[in-house]
């Protein structure tokens, strides 16, 4: 049962309408940051206030919600947000990517490929990809309006000049639909290729800066690069210590005082699915 003290999904109906309008506009102009009237949410800025407002505006009783934080379903943030929506929106929750209709995420895109009809909601700390290069908001808006993105290329040039390669590993800038420069939120660049022509709808919510932007299904998303320094994703020499995957994004863990390292999948659901399948394979020869 939903908590009777609050309106369905916590936010009042007018606020949800306003957010839905912003979402519609964001979907209509892929990659464009739409301002919206961000509300105070019962969690601090930086913990996912943008994502939680987007989720609240789109969620319904028939939905199944999955929440991940750095790929994991069992971290404090993920558990709290999942419990929050189970209580105020009366929705079913899951940790399985395939079963979810709405997935709110921080810092990762699930390894399991998404399908049509699924919605991926990103929590975004800094929506403006040009912020670190151009501090003036009026100027960044002009740069977006005129699609003058040379300065972003300058930052990549600088990275190669300094490190011999493009050293940026997360929040790697992308060009959406050949038009708008977009910050993919702090996902590792490993996940950037998954944004490109993804069948699921991607919504990005920034609570502190009060911006919503979106990538509609099957929209081209290109990671910036140079002809002679093409975009590359991270690679590991090791495989996951738990499921043996060589395709997933691995977290490095130091497990003892001697500096012994262990690599495991950051996507807990993906890892557990694989482990389950392997266990079944053993039992039924």
* Contacting positions for other proteins (CB under 8 A): 142, 146, 148, 150-151, 153-155, 157-158, 160-162, 225-229
Q: By CB neighbour count within 10 A (0-12 exposed, 13-18 middle, 19+ buried), where does 166 fall?
A: buried
Contact (Cβ atoms closer than 8 angstroms) between residue 85 and residue 59: yes
Output Rg (C-alpha) for the chain, integer angstroms.
20
What is the smallest separation between the CB atom of 154 and other proteins, expressed in angstroms? 5
Nearest of 111, 225, 219 to residue 160 by alpha carbon: 225
Whether residue 239 lies in the annotated active site: no
Helix (H, G, I), strand (E, B) or coil at 273: helix
Q: Which is nearer to other proteins, 8 or 231 (CB)?
A: 231
Nearer to other proteins, 2 or 220 (CB): 220
Least distance from other proteins to the Cβ atom of residue 148, Å: 7
CB of 176 to other proteins, least distance (A): 18
Neighbours of 65 (CB within 10 A): 22
Catalytic residue among 150, 240, 259, 281: 240
Smallest gap from Cβ 229 to other proteins, in A, equals 5
Indicate the residue among 149 and 170 with the shorter CB distance to other proteins: 149
- By beta-carbon proximity to other proteins, the closer residue of 153 and 278 is 153
Do 56 and 89 meet the contact criterion of CB atoms below 8 Å apart?
Answer: yes
Residue 151 or 242: the one with the smaller Cβ distance to other proteins is: 151
The active-site residue out of 37, 178, 271, 281 is: 271
Active site residue 271: yes
Query: Which one of 31, 38, 50, 51 is the catalytic residue?
Result: 31
Least distance (Å) between residue 145 CB and other proteins:
8
Q: Distance of CA 164 to CAs 159, 231, 236, 244, Å?
A: 7, 14, 19, 32
Angle at 113 between CA 284 and CA 273, to 5 degrees: 30
Q: 137: which DSSP letter?
A: H
- Cα–Cα distance measured from residue 70 to residue 229, given in angstroms and rounded to the nearest whole number: 28
Catalytic residue ranges: 31, 240, 243, 265, 271
């Amino acid at each position: 049962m939903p908590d009777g003290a609050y309106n369905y999904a916590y936010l009042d109906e007018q606020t949800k309408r306003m957010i839905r309008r912003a979402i519609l506009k964001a979907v209509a102009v892929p990659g464009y940051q739409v301002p919206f009237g961000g509300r105070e949410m019962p969690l601090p800025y930086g913990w996912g206030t943008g994502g939680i407002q987007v989720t609240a505006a789109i969620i319904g009783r028939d939905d199944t919600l999955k929440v991940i934080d750095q790929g994991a379903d069992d971290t404090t943030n993920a558990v709290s947000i999942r419990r929050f929506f189970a209580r105020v929106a009366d929705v079913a929750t899951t940790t399985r990517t395939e079963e979810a209709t709405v997935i709110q995420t921080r810092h990762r895109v699930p390894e399991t490929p998404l399908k049509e009809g699924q919605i991926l909601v990103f929590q975004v700390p800094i929506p403006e990809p040009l912020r670190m290069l151009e501090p003036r908001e009026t100027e960044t808006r002009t740069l977006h309006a005129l699609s003058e993105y040379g300065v972003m290329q300058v930052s990549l040039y600088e990275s190669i000049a300094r490190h011999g390669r493009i050293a940026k590993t997360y929040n790697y800038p992308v060009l959406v639909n050949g038009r708008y420069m977009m910050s993919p939120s702090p996902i590792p660049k490993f996940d950037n290729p998954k944004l490109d022509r993804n069948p699921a709808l991607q919504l990005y919510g920034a609570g502190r800066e009060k911006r919503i932007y979106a990538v509609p299904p099957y929209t081209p998303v290109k990671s910036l690069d140079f002809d002679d320094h093409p975009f590359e994703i991270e690679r590991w020499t090791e495989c996951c210590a738990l499921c043996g995957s060589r395709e997933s994004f691995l977290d490095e863990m130091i497990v003892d005082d001697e500096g012994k390292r262990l690599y495991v999948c950051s996507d807990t659901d993906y890892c557990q699915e694989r482990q389950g399948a392997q266990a079944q394979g053993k039992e039924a020869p």
